[in-house]
Amino acid sequence: MNTRSRPTPIECRHYDALVGSRITAVDWSSLDGEAVPVLLLDAASRSGGRACVYVLADPEGNGPGFLDHDLNQGGTS
């Protein structure tokens, strides 16, 4: 039987903030010696700079995929 959980309201707000953004470039960073893609967006970050998206294993780095970003979400995180 294939069951899946529903996203939390926090997860919904987190991903909804990406809607309408456009990837304008890909930069590369390093994590523990591994290349990590950093997607640069045409949107503002919480700090007012250019927003970025990082692909992580999960928020803690040990589970299913998680798309981290620093988009301004109207003061929520």
SS3 71: strand
Task: Give the pLDDT band of residue 75 (cuts 50, 70, 90).
Answer: very low
Q: Is the pLDDT of residue 64 over 60?
A: no
SS3 5: coil
Q: What is the pTM of this model?
A: 0.64
Q: Alpha-carbon distance 77 to 56, whole Å? A: 17
Q: Alpha-carbon distance 74 to 52, whole Å? A: 16
> Domain locations in the chain?
9-69
3-62 per-position pLDDT tens digit: 778 889 988 998 898 899 999 998 988 877 777 788 899 988 888 888 888 877 666 666
